[in-house]
Amino acid sequence: MARNSTSSTIAPATAWLGRGRHLGSEAEQDVRRNLSALKAARVIDGFLELDPVEAARSTDLLPRDGSADPGPLARRVFEARWRVADEVTVRAQLTTYDPESRRIERDGVTWVLAAEAERAWEAGWPSPATMFWPDSDQVAWDHETVPGVRLRTTNHLPKDDGELRRVLRDCTQQSWYVHVVVHEAMTPDAPGRRPVTAFLPHSLRHRVVEHRATPDQALTADFAMKRELGVGLPRGGAVILPPVPQMPEYEAERFTVRDVFLDGTEPTELLSKILDFASLPRPLAVDAERALTRLRQGWHLLTPDEELVHARAMVTKYAKALEAMTVSCNLYQEAAESALAALAETTGGDVPPRTPTSTPAEQETSPFKSLTKTLNVFKRPNR
């Protein structure tokens, strides 16, 4: 899950995508509690929990290429639907996974979240993360897949040069998030230690990771960043790190701030540059593209109108299948009759008796019987 190879698909403006690790012992229970509370408070319209095997098999219109299969490490699939800006519907799907190493005590439960709105996403809308996870420091759902890095707080860069460069590489090559490094010109007081990300609009707070370099790391952090990423860190300033592979629109100067005052006041210039960076077209990671495909093609939490559309599509699908099988059967019968006529003409009317072309077992599994069974067990999707 940690690998972040990119596809050629650009992230759509309608989507919100996130990935992280929950280090607690009750990841799915935390999701259930939060969804139930928000449903009771009418913050969300509804939610649904599915076993991953059920989620992969129960949607009849899915392509059979595995694109909607959550994968062998998947634990649970949660869906939720809510509205923003009065009537804009948002659909979101969160999948929890066992870590690839299966060392749950240390690695926690990995989660992937894909959300999509009916129109372009706005930064001021509620964060999809806090629709599934409680927005509380008591629940450790906000750990990055990069070890030692966390959302919703400041992450001080390692003192060791080799470890520092590893963190920079992993955050720019593996992460789905925007990473910002801020240099503390002097040790800040309590208001200055507040994360800069706390000033961001709601939907961006959980898409941006903040790193801090201590006053004595000015030279080492600047040197490591220039060597690994080709960007510098101004003393007392900040820089937004370029992803790898780097976007054509990225320019180091454009996303560098010379002075950031860590006194508890809003750093307007840095926030503006983060918003600018987040709006750039960015290729989707392969795992993110799969998550978005599953959301679009493997959606189960249907409204009554969507159920009706789905049922009509299923009827049309099976009607076409029946029509194709009928045409095939008629063509086969015509060909058989023509062959018998030709044989009769050749033998002067002395046609040998016809022998069955299929065994009783084969007849039991005929396409018509299979279709009949399929139609009999057809069920409408869950609400």
pLDDT of 1: 46
pLDDT of 28: 97
pLDDT of 299: 93
* Spatial contact of 161 and 227, defined as CB atoms under 8 Å apart: no
Q: Determine how β-strand 15-22 pairs with β-strand 109-117.
A: antiparallel
Which range has highest mean pLDDT (40-49, 55-64, 67-76, 295-304)? Answer: 40-49
- Over residues 358-375, the mean pLDDT reads 54
Share above pLDDT 70 across residues of the chain, in percent, rounded to a whole number: 81
Query: pLDDT tens digit string along 224-237?
Result: 999 999 999 999 99
What tokens appear for 359 in the block? 């065994």
Cis peptide before 245 (omega within 30 of 0): yes
pLDDT of 334: 83
pLDDT of 279: 94
Confidence of residue 371 (pLDDT cuts 50, 70, 90): low
DSSP 318: H
Q: Determine how β-strand 46-50 pairs with β-strand 15-22.
A: unpaired
Query: pLDDT tens digit string along 184-212?
Result: 999 999 999 999 999 999 999 999 999 99
* Spatial contact of 1 and 99, defined as CB atoms under 8 Å apart: yes
* Spatial contact of 115 and 94, defined as CB atoms under 8 Å apart: no
Query: pLDDT tens digit string along 155-170?
Result: 999 999 999 999 999 9
pLDDT of 3: 52
- The more confident residue out of 339 and 377 is 339
pLDDT of 104: 47
Helix/strand/coil for 268? helix
What tokens appear for 280 in the block? 């750039």
| Residue 113, pLDDT above cutoff 90 | yes
Buried b (16+ CB within 10 A) or exposed e, 190-205: eebeebbbebbebbbb
Confidence of residue 61 (pLDDT cuts 50, 70, 90): very low
Q: Which residue do the tokens 């990300």 mark?
A: 197
**Cross-strand partners of 211:** 155, 181
Q: Determine how β-strand 46-50 pairs with β-strand 154-156.
A: unpaired
pLDDT of 345: 76
Query: pLDDT tens digit string along 68-84?
Result: 678 888 999 999 999 99
- In this structure, the number of other CB atoms found within 10 A of the CB of residue 299 comes to 20
pLDDT of 347: 77
| 368 to 124, 176, 356, 373, 378: CA distances (angstroms) | 54, 48, 18, 9, 15
- Over residues 23-36, the mean pLDDT reads 95
Instruction: Return the amino acid letter for 174.
Output: Q
pLDDT of 370: 57
Query: pLDDT tens digit string along 326-364?
Result: 888 888 888 888 888 887 877 766 655 555 555 555 455
Query: pLDDT tens digit string along 31-51?
Result: 999 999 999 999 999 999 998
Share above pLDDT 90 across residues of the chain, in percent, rounded to a whole number: 64
- Over residues 303-315, the mean pLDDT reads 67
pLDDT of 359: 53
* Spatial contact of 263 and 188, defined as CB atoms under 8 Å apart: yes
| Residue 2, pLDDT above cutoff 90 | no
- The more confident residue out of 347 and 267 is 267
C-alpha–C-alpha distance, residues 96 and 104, integer Å: 12
- Over residues 217-228, the mean pLDDT reads 95
Confidence of residue 182 (pLDDT cuts 50, 70, 90): very high
pLDDT of 62: 46
Of 50-64, 140-154, 255-269, minimum mean pLDDT range: 50-64
Confidence of residue 99 (pLDDT cuts 50, 70, 90): confident
- Over residues 119-129, the mean pLDDT reads 97
Of 8-12, 16-20, 318-322, minimum mean pLDDT range: 318-322
DSSP string across 302-361 = --HHHHHHHHHHHHHHHHHHHHHHHHHHHHHHHHHHHHHHHHHHHHTT-PPPP--SS-HH
